[in-house]
């Protein structure tokens, strides 16, 4: 009996955690290892199946970095990510402040705002595609009523990236609203009351109470948004395929297209781009973890 | 705050919600529009002559895909619960050595871009011959939900009072029995939340489906819609009708489990 209490619980603890440990190794570590392996070899589609690709070291990375498309993809990734998260955050924060005071129907309306986040991406992206359709889209129809000419949202090089950014902002508003709203709930109400007594207007209260006290939540929201937006594939792929040309191609789209988007897959280069993307995601991810940990300790 | 001002905010709130949900309304509107009116200029703001021809196309062509998505979604729920509920219990209450490391790995796992996961899975599945299989897609889709599931279960089970577990121990219940007869029933809300999200994410997945199952006989509904757009761009009423049907689980989730949804977003802050 005594021995059982000494070693028994520890064994059962391992038994409970073992499926997860095995899962992480099989479904995360191994695919990630395969990905690095892909990027260091020259995998043709044939070698991909047979597994006899030649080791080429960092040649794939050199190819990728020196390719003309790399600069474009990097720039598009930066624009797509930064504009998306800035707009999502600003709109999400405005809505969170708006919904903070309970008013009739506010819980219901807040719940309705979650809809874009819950819809399958293919549903949202295809709806936006049709709304932005050059000839029959509602967006052009409304703009036309104000005298604007036809805009080829998804098919012209000038507007393709803007179009996917608009759709992506719409997709990200619910996430920002929910996180920032719950952050606002933790700011003591009496601070606002005291400030109001001292004659602070709504804007002053927002600037001097809401913004500073919401800062930790804001930083976490923005960093998470950054990590999640960097890896977006589906909304861009469904709406523009990264085109026309490379005008809406981000690094994630570039990688996806190299591997799956053409008849001539180049898994090695796709994996090299993917690994660069992991590095970028991890850098911001670790900043997020660091700040979160500091937050928990303070 | 005066009642009058509150009502004024309600009016503004309804307006903002309407603007936000306009794309969803538009999807409904187009799904009910007759094919002949799809190219009307300007587009009709309301379905003047609502028709179900789009929906009849869904039921003629997309039923097998809906069934596949259902199977994939339920399979993903099963895998996610089987892996994450025991792990959550271990991390919350048993705390074997390495607990901190696993928690850290889960956070990192969520940051791995899906395009990277997809390529890794593709490379593994090519060799195993698992491409275009339903269970292959289930396992791949479960990676979207497992980290979230473990974190949610850990957070929830940490809140279960020690006394309950000690009482069970005094009564002679082993760890497994405690887990099955006490922890799981008490954690019903967490089980529900994780199940709903695991189902929804698997149902909504496009990236894994479009790569691992693209040549399959059994494709999920997301891929059904994607192929529809590719093949048949004039039938937007049918595409939007399929999109409406594909949105049903999201609607059900919002109605049934509204309060868990917001909780789920903040708890894991995933996706």
- Measure the CA–CA gap between B201 and B150, rounded to whole angstroms: 16
Asked if residues B246 and A123 have their Cβ atoms less than 8 Å apart, the reply is: yes
Here the tokens at position A274 are: 């993917």
Which positions in chain A touch B102 (Cβ < 8 Å)? 17, 20-21, 24
pLDDT digits (tens, 9 = 90+) for A160-212: 999 999 999 999 999 999 999 989 988 888 888 899 888 888 899 999 889 99
* pLDDT for A262: 80
Percent of chain A at pLDDT > 70 equals: 96
The contacts of residue A90 (CB under 8 Å, 6+ apart) are: none
How large is the angle between the packed helices B99-109 and A2-24, nearest 10 degrees? 20
Here the tokens at position B171 are: 């009564």
From the candidates A119, A163, A169, A270, which should be mutated to test the interface with B, based on the most B CB atoms within 10 A?
A119
Nearest CA in chain B to A282: B111
- A-proximal residues of B, 157-196, CB under 8 Å: 174-176, 179
- Measure the CA–CA gap between A171 and B99, rounded to whole angstroms: 34
- Measure the CA–CA gap between A96 and A187, rounded to whole angstroms: 13
* pLDDT for A12: 80
Dihedral sign computed on CA atoms, order A249, B269, B224, B237: negative
pLDDT digits (tens, 9 = 90+) for A108-118: 899 899 899 88
- Measure the CA–CA gap between B182 and A16, rounded to whole angstroms: 15
First to last CA, chain B: 37
pLDDT at residue A45 greater than cutoff 90: no
* pLDDT for A290: 83
Helix, strand, coil % in chain A, rounded to nearest 5? 75, 0, 20
The contacts of residue A257 (CB under 8 Å, 6+ apart) are: A241, A242, A249, A270
ipTM confidence: 0.88
Rounded mean pLDDT of B96-124? 86
pLDDT digits (tens, 9 = 90+) for A246-268: 999 999 999 999 888 887 888 88
* pLDDT for A5: 45
Min Cα distance A274 → chain B (Å) is 5
User: Strand ranges (DSSP E) for chain A?
Assistant: 41-42, 54-55
The model scores a pTM over 0.80: yes
- Measure the CA–CA gap between B52 and A138, rounded to whole angstroms: 21
- Measure the CA–CA gap between A57 and A37, rounded to whole angstroms: 10
Here the tokens at position A12 are: 């059962």
pLDDT-derived band at A59, boundaries 50, 70, 90: confident
pLDDT at residue A82 greater than cutoff 90: yes
* pLDDT for B202: 95
Min Cα distance A175 → chain B (Å) is 7
pLDDT at residue B13 greater than cutoff 50: yes
pLDDT, mean over chain A: 88
Rounded mean pLDDT of B99-110? 84
Percent of chain B at pLDDT > 90 equals: 44
Rounded mean pLDDT of B153-160? 88
Here the tokens at position B187 are: 């954690």
* pLDDT for B262: 64
Asked if residues A76 and A88 have their Cβ atoms less than 8 Å apart, the reply is: no
Nearest to B7 among A104, A126, A237 (CB): A104
Q: Which residue has the higher pLDDT, A264 or A51?
A: A264
CA A228 to chain centre: 2
- Measure the CA–CA gap between B268 and B271, rounded to whole angstroms: 9
């Amino acid at each position: 009996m005594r021995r059982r209490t000494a070693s028994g619980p520890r064994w059962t603890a391992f038994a409970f955690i073992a499926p997860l440990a095995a899962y992480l190794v099989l479904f995360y570590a191994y695919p990630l290892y395969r990905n690095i392996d892909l990027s260091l070899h020259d995998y043709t589609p044939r070698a991909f199946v047979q597994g006899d690709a030649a080791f080429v070291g960092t040649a794939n990375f050199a190819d990728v970095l020196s390719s003309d498309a790399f600069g474009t993809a990097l720039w598009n990734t930066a624009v797509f990510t930064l504009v998306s998260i800035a707009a999502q955050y600003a709109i999400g924060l405005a809505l969170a402040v708006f919904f903070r005071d309970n008013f009739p129907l506010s819980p219901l309306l807040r719940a309705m705002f979650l809809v874009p986040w819950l819809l399958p991406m293919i549903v949202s992206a295809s709806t936006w595609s049709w709304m932005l359709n050059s000839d029959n889209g509602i967006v052009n129809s409304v703009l036309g009523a104000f005298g604007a000419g036809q805009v080829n949202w998804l098919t012209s090089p000038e507007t393709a990236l803007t179009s996917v950014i608009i759709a992506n902002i719409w997709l990200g508003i619910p996430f920002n609203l929910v996180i920032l709203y719950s952050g606002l709930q933790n700011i003591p109400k009496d601070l606002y009351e005291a400030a109001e007594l001292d004659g602070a207007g709504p804007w002053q209260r927002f600037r001097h109470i809401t913004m500073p006290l919401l800062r930790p939540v804001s930083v976490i929201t923005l960093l998470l948004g950054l990590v999640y937006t960097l890896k977006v594939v589906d909304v861009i792929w469904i709406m523009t395929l990264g085109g026309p040309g490379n005008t809406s191609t981000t690094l994630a789209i570039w990688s996806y297209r190299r591997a799956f988007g053409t008849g001539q897959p180049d898994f090695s280069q796709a994996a090299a781009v993917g690994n660069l993307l992991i590095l970028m995601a991890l850098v911001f991810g670790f900043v997020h973890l660091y700040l979160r940990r500091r937050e928990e300790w303070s | 705050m005066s009642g009058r001002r509150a009502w004024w905010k309600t009016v503004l709130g309804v307006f903002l919600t309407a603007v936000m949900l306009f794309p969803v309304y538009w999807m409904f509107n187009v799904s009910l529009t007759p094919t002949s009116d799809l190219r009307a200029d300007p587009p009709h703001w309301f379905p003047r002559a609502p028709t179900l021809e789009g929906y009849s196309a869904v039921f003629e062509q997309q039923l097998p895909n809906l069934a596949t998505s259902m199977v994939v979604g339920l399979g993903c729920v099963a895998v996610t619960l089987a892996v994450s509920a025991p792990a959550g219990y271990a991390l919350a209450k048993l705390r074997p050595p390495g607990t901190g490391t696993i928690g850290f790995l889960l956070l990192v796992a969520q940051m791995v871009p899906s395009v990277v996961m997809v390529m890794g899975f593709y490379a593994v599945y090519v060799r195993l011959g698992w491409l275009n299989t339903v269970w292959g897609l289930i396992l791949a889709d479960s990676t979207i939900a497992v980290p979230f599931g473990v974190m949610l279960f850990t957070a929830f089970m940490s809140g279960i009072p020690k006394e309950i577990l000690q009482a069970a121990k005094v009564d002679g219940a082993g760890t497994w029995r405690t887990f099955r007869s006490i922890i799981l029933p008490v954690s019903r809300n967490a089980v529900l939340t994780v199940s709903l999200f695991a189902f929804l994410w698997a149902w909504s997945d496009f990236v894994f489906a479009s790569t691992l199952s693209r040549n399959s006989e059994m494709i999920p509904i997301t891929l059904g819609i994607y192929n529809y757009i590719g093949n048949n761009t004039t039938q937007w009423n049918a595409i939007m009708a399929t999109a409406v049907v594909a949105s049903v689980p999201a609607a059900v989730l919002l109605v049934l489990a509204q309060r868990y949804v917001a909780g789920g977003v903040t708890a894991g802050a995933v996706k």
